[in-house]
Amino acid sequence: MRTRPLLPLTIVAFLSALPASLALADESGAPSIESFGDGGDFLFIPGIGRIPLPPGMRSLPPGQGGGDFDSEQRSRAAAPPLPKDPAERRAEEMARLYLRLEQAEDEREAKGLSAAIVSRWSHSESDTMNLLAARALAADAAGAPTIALNLLDYIVALSPQWSEGYVQRAKVRAEQGDDGGATADLETAATLEPKRFDAFAALGALKEKSGDKKGALAAYKKSLAISPQQDSLRKSEERLRLEVEGRDI
């Protein structure tokens, strides 16, 4: 037994008003859309004939002709994509900057990209953290390292996932001769943000100062893998590589 194809509700209502003799006419074939230019569009139903369609209405049930129109309707009906949240947008932006930094053609270009990346690292999503960081920086610049360290301790305690707090505290600690504390902070920062080429470079310098040449070389290499266009760091890496690995024979 063959099932009658489903039709849009507007057409069903039209057919309901037809005489029974027409509704029972030959049903061979499937409905189709016919267009006659300025003459308008018609729905052709075998056994019934042509039915004028209102302007803009050219859809048929799925699978019954007019496939292009079905697709168009489905596209219009599809829900728009949800807007990306700030964290997702930031991650995509940073990924683009990292790629451009890795592919930079010279040191000048790399410095501009590095500055843009460091600027984003130094900005917290918390206004409170940004205020504390600004005051810590001002205190350090004014020759008050104890106040700067106290403020940075608060930052690290309140926002332990923000790598910038550790980098800033490492700087002040290193200035005060606390190389061990500075090294620990830089290692934490590099763990939280694996692309922190500045943390790796500073970590390499501290390790080299302490006599850990292998550790220093490893840190320099990590920094250069992220930001290859660092000429002075490249020279330090090459010098240290000769000391650690020797010359190729």
Domain boundaries, the chain: 1-61, 87-243
**At residue 39, does pLDDT exceed 60?**
yes
Determine what percent of the chain falls in helix, strand and coil, rounding each to the nearest 5. 65, 5, 30
Please tell me which residue, 86 or 238, carries the higher pLDDT value.
238
Per-residue confidence (pLDDT) for residue 79, from 0 to 100: 62
Kindly report, residue by residue over 83-137, the tens digit of the pLDDT.
677 888 889 999 999 999 999 999 999 999 999 999 999 999 899 999 999 999 9
Report the alpha-carbon distance of residue 43 to residue 49 in Å, rounded: 8
| Mean pLDDT, the chain, integer | 81
Residue 177, phi-psi category: left (phi > 0), alpha (psi -120 to 50), beta (remainder): left
Of 8-17, 18-27, 96-105, the range with the lowest mean pLDDT is 18-27
Is the model's pTM score more than 0.95?
no
Kindly report, residue by residue over 140-182, the tens digit of the pLDDT.
999 999 999 999 999 999 999 999 999 999 999 999 999 999 9
Q: In the CATH scheme, what is the homologous superfamily, with its name and number, of domain 87-243?
A: Tetratricopeptide repeat domain (1.25.40.10)
Per-residue confidence (pLDDT) for residue 85, from 0 to 100: 77
CB hemisphere CA count around 3 (13 angstroms)? 3
